[in-house]
Amino acid sequence: MQTKLTLRLDEALVRRAKAYAKRTGKPVSQLVAEYFAVLGTQATSPAFKLTPTVRRLKGALRGANVDVEDYRRHLEEKYL
């Protein structure tokens, strides 16, 4: 059974959602429904379990001022 849900959102966000929906060929209500369907499943899904190495590294760069240019520079130094 489907039921109606009213959401109050910023106008700019609604415009972006409608534009995205148009690009993907889906109604906004379907996008919202798909999003709600995955809420809470990420933590329990085997596809999202972190390996021990990733768990140790998680948050290692929190607060660091690192951007794409830093990463490019690192790769150039490493491989050139």
Give me the pLDDT at residue 46, please.
62
* 41 inside domain: yes
- Written as one string, the DSSP assignment of 13-60 is HHHHHHHHHHHHT--HHHHHHHHHHHTTTTTT-GGGPPPHHHHHHTTT
Question: Which range marks the domain in which residue 43 is found?
Answer: 11-79
* 45 inside domain: yes
pLDDT digit string, tens, across residues 63-78? 888 889 999 999 999 9
Is the confidence at residue 3, as pLDDT, over 70?
yes
* 4 inside domain: no
* 68 inside domain: yes
Give me the pLDDT at residue 45, please.
57
pLDDT digit string, tens, across residues 7-65? 999 999 999 999 999 999 999 999 999 998 888 766 555 666 888 998 899 888 888 88
The domain tally of the chain equals 1
* Exposed/middle/buried for residue 28 (C-beta within 10 Å: 0-12, 13-18, 19+): middle
